[in-house]
Chains A and B, each alone.
Chain A
Amino acid sequence: MTGLPLLSIAIWLPIVGGLLVLATGSDRNAGLARLIALVVAVAGFLVTLPLYIGFDTTTSAMQFIELLTWIPRFNIHYRLGVDGISMLFILLNSFITPLVVLAGWKVIEEKVAQYMAAFLIMSGLMNGIFSALDAVLFYVFFETSLIPMYIIIGVWGGPNRVYAAFKFFLYTLLGSLLMLVALIYLFFQSGFSFNLLDWHELRIPLTAQIYLFLAFLMAFAVKVPMWPVHTWLPDAHVEAPTGGSVVLAAIMLKLGAYGFLRFSLPIAPDASRELAWLMIALSLTAVVYIGFVALVQADMKKLIAYSSISHMGFVTLGFFIFNSLGVEGALLQMISHGFISAAMFLCVGVLYDRMHSRQIADYGGVVNTMPKFAALFMFFAMANAGLPATSGFVGEFMVILGAVQFNFWVGFAAATTLILGAAYTLWMYKRVVFGAVANHHVAELTDINAREFAILGLLALCVLGMGLYPFPFTEVMHASVENLLKHVAVSKL
């Protein structure tokens, strides 16, 4: 392997590029800003490819490690590395960024440079979250990534954007404050180390583990989001611009789930097992309860937001049934949801850009004027409903199998998504796309252009490819997941 600091490049290239875009200044240079943003975003994705190519699938150890001293006074390091759990998310994140840049190409006309810069910077920060192995570094990335999203919703959002941005910011910030306390506690317990890998070896009494688990839960559950701390998400999605929704759903929601795997499970394994029932109950509530709530939404973005919560319920369910089917299924579900939710929000964006409405009732018969779009939207709707040969099936199928293995009735409750997911997705699709042309606005719609087709087509290929051949994905995560499960099974009291 080359000696290049690949992870650092993956983090700092988009951030520096983002600052460069910012430097183009006012909207007079909007064209230049867009161009630089696209080049940086594509380059940002290309530099992550060696991570996959050079990845050693036989080991669960951290790879591509980078280590620099940052604040020696507190033993804080700039420590980066990835394993089979985190590596794929860096690729996913870097893949989504160019799509988001393209999606905002024409629609965003004001403060273009700032818009593009915010997404690039956010992309770099999130790569930082997935590769940080030092708790302080992680926390800094975790918190700063909120700022660009807050700005994106607050500046380019819908009419109620200020309320939504505040709700998003406060919810997630309050959640992570308790995590800070937990990090400081662990710092002292471990003899003044912020190294996550040191923390994984710590022995901690059960009560302390439970407190730690709950503190992490507050931070991560809000991010996922788990029921009942999910109500910020529909509001945030509805107000966010399309690109914001895409990144929020595709990447930001994964941060919480990733946190469970990096912090909660390995640091507090006994508490995790002790509180698994709670996590399973909350996850199943998300799957079933939110499935019903999604059914009655009148706003397409809200519906997809609720669908996201329901799908993320599968992720947390998979983690806490502690078998490889569950955990690997959950990880696959996270990646797949990255593609599908991005595509679904982009599809709504395509309609919104033309009609300036997200209300299902304002549509009907879109297939008659936008057949190409209708075909792609159908594909993503089916993927969202977990149809085999799409990526949406892989994770769901494995988690349901894992859940039946764990307990028949848990599997039973989880499998209701087969019916609910199809019901809310296809019912929405029917009302929006099928039928006769509903009104003259629909009659005047124009089908997707080459740029939109390219974005959605690329995502469709990903969804199809992963559905037909998920082996390359499971192969990467295998060793790390097995190691994690072994780790969790051993008591740390």
Chain B
Amino acid sequence: MTDMQQLYLLVPLAPLAGAIIAGFFGKAIGRAGAHWVTILGVFVSLVASWFIFQDVERGNLFNGTVYTWATSGDLSFEVGFLIDKLTVTMMLVVTFVSLMVHIYTIGYMAHDEDNWPADSLAGRHSYQRFFAYISLFTFSMLMLVMSNNFLQLFFGWEAVGLVSYLLIGFWSTRPTAIYANLKAFLVNRVGDFGFLLGIGLIAAYCGTLNYTEVFAMSQKLAGTTVELIPGLPWLLISVVCICLFIGAMGKSAQFPLHVWLPDSMEGPTPISALIHAATMVTAGIFMVARMSPLFELSDAALSFVIVIGAITAFFMALIAIVQTDIKRVIAYSTLSQLGYMTAALGASAYSAAMFHLSTHAFFKAVLFLGAGSVIIAMHHEQDMRRMGGLRKYMPITYFTVLIGALANAGLPPFAGFFSKDSIIEAVHLSTTPGAGFAYLLILAGVFVGGFYSFRLVFMTFHGKERFRDVAPHGHDAHDTHDAEGAHGHHAVHEPHESPWVVTVPLILLAIPSVIAGWAMVGPALFGNYFGGAIFITPEHPAIARMAADFHGAMGMITHGLMTPPFWLALGGMVTAWYLYIVRPDLPAVIKEKSGVLARILEKKYGFDEFNEWFFAGGARLLGRGLWKGGDQTLIDGLMVNGSAKVVGWVASIVRLFQSGYIYQYAFSMIIGVFVLLTLWMNRV
């Protein structure tokens, strides 16, 4: 094994070692031991990733097997690494955000014992357990992105899902948390169902699960038609890509499998930033970008992708404008931004999707961690209606969140502007069927994005200091903080800025939220940064045409000032300013007037109710029907006990002939002899 290969192994194994030590020996090493060992693990991983990045920059790619997991017939299942620009970008994003979140957690979870019932043994060493989980997550995510085959991809895919499940339900005594984590796991399993079928088709038709070998056969897949439903011939590659994308829809929370992500906010805020914004939910985006040699050959799949992405981008953003829980606003914002990335994938702008994935990881982590900082200051109050005017109490949090909001809204020169604008332009230029429809939706989404981002900023940091009000606050459908323990009396506390372990990660993440777009847009999008890792057919020229028009980051800003997205974002921002600063009485009036529309948004289009009624209720009804009707009545009642009854019945008749009276036996013998004689004599 070469030195580089050892370095590759070090990247995922260092966080794993940290997780194992903190997880199994948490009691022995104590709190400080747990956070230092895990931070060290992730730090080592980040440094190693940086060296690997340098190495890849020099053109040293790697694709090789670590060990053979199993073999069956001609199929060999392996664990191995593929190291190229795509991988190394994800490695840097994951390890950097993870390191920031690890440090931040020291502050956020410092008083975690308050979140548990006093006598709960599960609450002991919960601090150490939390660090073990987030390090385990980092390991799983790295295995996912570094994989060179579908088996390991699926491994990482499910492993991040497991850690997500464990962390959403971290405060396991809260009913809402353990409802949310089960929901998240099951919805993700629906996606995995499609994903696994896609992998199955690849194994069946390619005879291998190795990426490069599969890509080499992509033309064969594109040339094969299958009739899954007789009379409906489909291109095999379209079926494969759509199946794989269903997996991405689960993990990256795309409509209609998005329902789990808002509920995942029940987990502690650091993981909302790390798992449910910056990294895990982008696994689906990464996967499709990785599979670009397959998706490029199927217009049907790309069309499906772009439409789903655009629907998610717009309609999830709309829900964000009626949310009052600060974390849920950001959660719906995340859904919307993931929709943008997905739309970019559908427009064959894989590099734009990856670019937005990276900038989003920074600015969304800032928003979540900033929200977490506010939540600490507010003593676990998450309702923005009970905040306001916080900027003078927590200036660092305010400025970093402001940067995050500006980037999220896509205003120049912040990072989000470059990536979001590229996506909009790419979809505009795209020839994928459905791109026109998608363009309208994501353009409209920009206005909504500007609005909800600054609604959050204004409601939380500006205006009247509503946290002093002791008036009972209104309960509504998504009022979940009741479970957060005692509240109502913390209005007496004076809010204050969070400790350095919280603010330093905020600042370190805010910096790339400002400059990453400016610095990276040229090379990342148009400089062939990803090299051979992304494949685009000449029939999909959107990115190439954009590259021809690109004249540096400054040129992009000046050009951007003259295009609709900028004015839409600004318009959204100004509207938020008017409604929440100038005329704070208006939102209630508008809500009153809009009636049904507001109800629909507040009900989140009714997905939760429908799923609960149709899928959860339906499954239970079916289960009970099959059990009572099938197992108990038909099989046990009719067949098993029924045949026992028949035996009993036959026996009861036969018993009549065995009365024990000689004369009855004699009589029946005589009758028998007569019958036989008669038959014998008449046989001729």
Give residues in A with beta carbon < 8 Å to B.
Answer: 167, 171, 228, 231, 289, 292-297, 323-325, 328-329, 365, 367-371, 374, 382, 387-389, 393-394, 397-398, 400-401, 403-405, 408-409, 411-412, 415-416, 418-419, 422-423, 426-427, 430, 433-437, 443, 447, 468-471, 473-475, 478, 482
Contact = CB atoms under 8 A, between A and B. Distances in A.
Nearest to B209: A401
B548 interface: no
B155 A389 contact: yes
Contacts of B117: 368, 436-437
A470 B70 contact: yes
Q: Which of B119, B172, B228 has its CB near the most chain A CB atoms (within 10 A)?
A: B172
B630 interface: yes
A470 B659 CA distance: 66
Given A231-B636, A408-B197, A418-B192, 13 more contacts: A293-B631, A296-B627, A328-B72, A389-B155, A411-B197, A418-B196, A419-B186, A419-B193, A423-B186, A426-B186, A434-B172, A436-B175, A447-B121
SS class of chain B's interface: helix, strand, loop or mixed?
helix
Given A408-B228, A418-B196, A430-B182, A388 B158 contact: yes
Contacts of B192: 418
Contacts of B204: 401, 404-405
A470 B182 contact: no
Interface string B59-75: 00000000111111101
B150 to A, nearest CB: 10
B557 interface: no
Interface in B147-185: 151, 154-155, 158-159, 162, 169, 172-173, 175, 178, 182, 185
Interface in B101-159: 117, 119-124, 151, 154-155, 158-159
Contacts of A416: 193
A289 B619 CA distance: 11
Contacts of B440: none
A409 B226 CA distance: 12
The 8 closest A-B pairs by CB, nearest first: A404-B200, A324-B73, A296-B623, A405-B204, A292-B623, A368-B120, A434-B178, A295-B623
B639 A415 contact: no
SS class of chain A's interface: helix, strand, loop or mixed?
helix
Nearest to A295: B623
Contacts of A474: 70-72
A228 B630 CA distance: 9
A53 B116 CA distance: 50
Contacts of B197: 404, 408, 411-412, 415
23 contacts: A171-B640, A228-B639, A231-B640, A292-B626, A293-B627, A296-B624, A296-B627, A328-B73, A368-B122, A370-B121, A393-B158, A398-B70, A403-B200, A404-B197, A412-B197, A418-B189, A418-B196, A419-B189, A423-B186, A423-B189, A474-B70, A474-B71, A482-B73
A190 B489 CA distance: 88
B276 to A, nearest CB: 19
B590 interface: no
Interface string B247-259: 0000000000000
B199 interface: yes
Nearest to B178: A434
Given A474-B70, A475-B71, A405 B624 contact: no
Nearest to A423: B186
A400 B150 CA distance: 14
Q: Which of A329, A369, A393, A397 has its CB near the most chain B CB atoms (within 10 A)?
A: A397
Contact of A401 (B175, B200, B627): B200
A367 B190 CA distance: 28
Contacts of B122: 367-368, 371, 374
B622 interface: yes
A431 B636 CA distance: 29
A418 B197 CA distance: 11
A411 B201 CA distance: 10
A388 B155 contact: yes
B198 to A, nearest CB: 9
Contacts of A409: 228
Contacts of B68: 471
A398 B72 contact: yes
Interface in B53-98: 67-73, 75
Nearest to A419: B189
A294 B627 CA distance: 9
A471 B69 contact: yes
Contacts of B182: 426-427, 430
A401 B70 CA distance: 14
B115 to A, nearest CB: 13
Contacts of A389: 155, 159
B156 to A, nearest CB: 8
For chain B, the bracket of interface size reads: 35 or more
Contact of B193 (A367, A382, A418, A430): A418
A404 B620 CA distance: 28
Contacts of A292: 619, 622-623, 626-627
B432 to A, nearest CB: 26
Contacts of A408: 197, 201, 226, 228
A304 B152 CA distance: 29
A405 B178 contact: no
Contacts of B169: 434
B203 interface: yes
B671 interface: no
B676 interface: no
B620 A435 contact: no
B635 interface: yes
Q: Which of A368, A408, A426, A434 has its CB near the most chain B CB atoms (within 10 A)?
A: A434
Nearest to A412: B197
B203 A404 contact: yes
A469 B192 CA distance: 22
A182 to B, nearest CB: 21
Contact of A293 (B196, B226, B623): B623
Interface string B598-632: 00000000000000000000011011101100110
A118 B201 CA distance: 48
Nearest to A325: B72
Contacts of B203: 325, 401, 404-405
A96 B626 CA distance: 33
A432 to B, nearest CB: 11
A416 B192 CA distance: 10
A456 B421 CA distance: 55
Nearest to B622: A292
Contacts of B151: 397
Contacts of A297: 627
A388 B154 contact: yes
Contacts of A328: 72-73
Q: Which of A328, A370, A404 has its CB near the most chain B CB atoms (within 10 A)?
A: A404
A461 to B, nearest CB: 13
B200 A423 contact: no
A422 B189 contact: yes
A328 B228 CA distance: 26
Given A228-B639, A374-B122, A419-B190, A478 B200 contact: no
A469 B69 contact: yes
Contacts of A415: 193, 196-197, 200
Contacts of B631: 231, 293
Q: Which of B68, B151, B182, B201 has its CB near the most chain A CB atoms (within 10 A)?
A: B182
Nearest to A366: B122
Contacts of B75: 325, 401
A296 B622 CA distance: 9
A329 B72 contact: yes
Q: Which of B117, B155, B182, B204 has its CB near the most chain A CB atoms (within 10 A)?
A: B204
Contacts of B173: 365, 368, 434-436
